[in-house]
Amino acid sequence: MDYDVVIVGGGLVGASLALSLKESGLRLALVEARPPLFDAAGWDSRIYAISPGSASFLGRGWERADSSRINPVREMRIFGDDASSELRFSAEEAGLPELAHIVESGNLLRGMMQAIGTPENLEVYCPASCKGLLWTDAGVELDLGEEKLHSKLVVGADGAKSWLRSHAGFEINPRPYKQSAIVANFECEKPHLDTAWQWFRKDGILALLPMPGNRVSLVWSVWSDEAERLLAEPDFPELVAEASFRRLGELKMITAPAAFPLRLMRVDSLVKPRVALIGDAAHNTHPLAGQGVNLGFRDARELSTVLLERGPQKDCGDYPLLRRFDRARREDILSMQTTTDLLQKLFNNEIPGLSLIRNAGLRMVEGQTWIKNALIQHALA
């Protein structure tokens, strides 16, 4: 089977690239190991904050998602670890309808796959697993076992443990944070008021994100041994309520807590001849800013733009063309990784006097409207 672009990984970022290219006339293939699952009767613990820029990029994929299961973020309140320092972002004050949207991974992916549909120029291989990768004179051969796909370009969107990244020989620089992010969903006693809450605590960073029906989603980043202890606690909702200063009253758990390890990961380059990486296959960041999936969508958006504007004489795997994509994404990725890494170091550190500096920094930013507006504009992308 001959294609112009084969996308390995049918999650949110891989599907977004397929959606953006489906009307391009390119011959496309999407390879995914597991069929997507979405439980309409329950709630998905994989929750994302989607920026307005990402929602616009997703287009009909965003519109097809179940809007009754999406909640806007109209305000963000971020607290330091001294019980008094606070940084607040308001959509109303910035003249915006919302700062972001909170959506379940399964709901959004279902909407995107519905929007992709079954165009003649796209073949979906699912379930399918990659067995081998071979460069040829004409392109790349991807071995799926029973079938071999020949393509001008193979795109790795297969996550943090990317098979394609490993087999294509990309050099990575991973640095574990020795922390885990605990996720779970709760019903809350008090209204969340479309507000995203975040506390920088001495033992980690806790966020509660607003979901429909006065529910919230927890992301609590703590040291890995502490995460194991918290997951074993029989009254976990009470611990979360106490850690969040009972801002939302009593909490009732509606999805079991789970944890995943955190790391910073950079690659030497996003591209090699006829291969490109996007999303978590290309970079990992600390989740404290909630921008990981938006960073991946911006990868897909840039790669799509480069491919659509390549000109009639260039094939999709042209290396100078792929280098253009790599250069365009470097600054955004480095900026996000550096910012979140510095904040993680700043707030998960017991150096004497550092607490005064970090909380003073929060108060300083709160008093500078121009800085807050600049931060909001960056988060909207």
Same domain as 274, residue 338: yes
Considering the domain boundaries, does residue 53 fall inside one?
no
Considering the domain boundaries, does residue 185 fall inside one?
yes
Closest by CA to 268, choosing from 344, 172, 146, 362, is 172
Q: Which domain holds residue 24?
A: 2-42+106-174+264-344
Same domain as 77, residue 213: yes
pLDDT value at position 179? 95
Same domain as 156, residue 21: yes
Considering the domain boundaries, does residue 275 fall inside one?
yes
Per-residue pLDDT of the chain (381 residues), as tens digits, is: 799 999 999 999 999 999 999 999 999 999 999 988 777 778 998 999 999 999 999 999 999 999 999 999 999 999 988 878 889 999 998 899 999 999 999 999 999 999 999 999 999 999 999 999 999 888 999 999 989 999 999 999 999 999 999 999 999 989 999 999 999 999 999 999 999 999 988 888 999 999 999 999 999 999 999 999 999 999 999 999 999 999 999 999 999 999 999 999 999 999 999 999 999 999 999 998 888 999 999 999 999 999 999 987 789 999 999 999 999 999 999 999 998 998 888 777 666 666 777 778 778 887 877 777 788 887 788
Bond from prior residue into 176 cis (ω within 30 degrees of 0): no
pLDDT value at position 260? 95
Considering the domain boundaries, does residue 77 fall inside one?
yes
Contacts of 213 (CB under 8 A, 6+ apart): 187
Considering the domain boundaries, does residue 282 fall inside one?
yes
Query: What CATH code is carried by the domain that includes residue 371?
Result: 3.30.9.10
pLDDT value at position 308? 95
Considering the domain boundaries, does residue 194 fall inside one?
yes
Considering the domain boundaries, does residue 352 fall inside one?
no
Same domain as 240, residue 93: yes
Same domain as 338, residue 288: yes
Same domain as 230, residue 86: yes
The tokens 């370009």 sit on which residue?
153
Same domain as 277, residue 256: no
The pTM for the full model equals 0.94
CA trace torsion 344, 345, 346, 349 (10° rounding):
110
Angle at 37 between CA 33 and CA 43, to 5 degrees: 140
Q: Express each pLDDT in 112-138 by its tens digit.
A: 999 999 999 999 999 999 999 999 888
Same domain as 112, residue 238: no
* Strand partners of residue 100: 73
Q: Contact, 286 vs 336, CB < 8 A?
A: no
Q: Over the chain, what is the mean pLDDT?
A: 93
Closest by CA to 158, choosing from 113, 126, 118, is 126
Per DSSP, 353 falls in state T
Query: What CATH code is carried by the domain that includes residue 301?
Result: 3.50.50.60
Considering the domain boundaries, does residue 283 fall inside one?
yes
pLDDT value at position 353? 64
How far does the chain reach from its first CA to its final CA, in angstroms?
37
Q: Cα–Cα distance between 229 and 239 in angstroms, integer?
A: 11
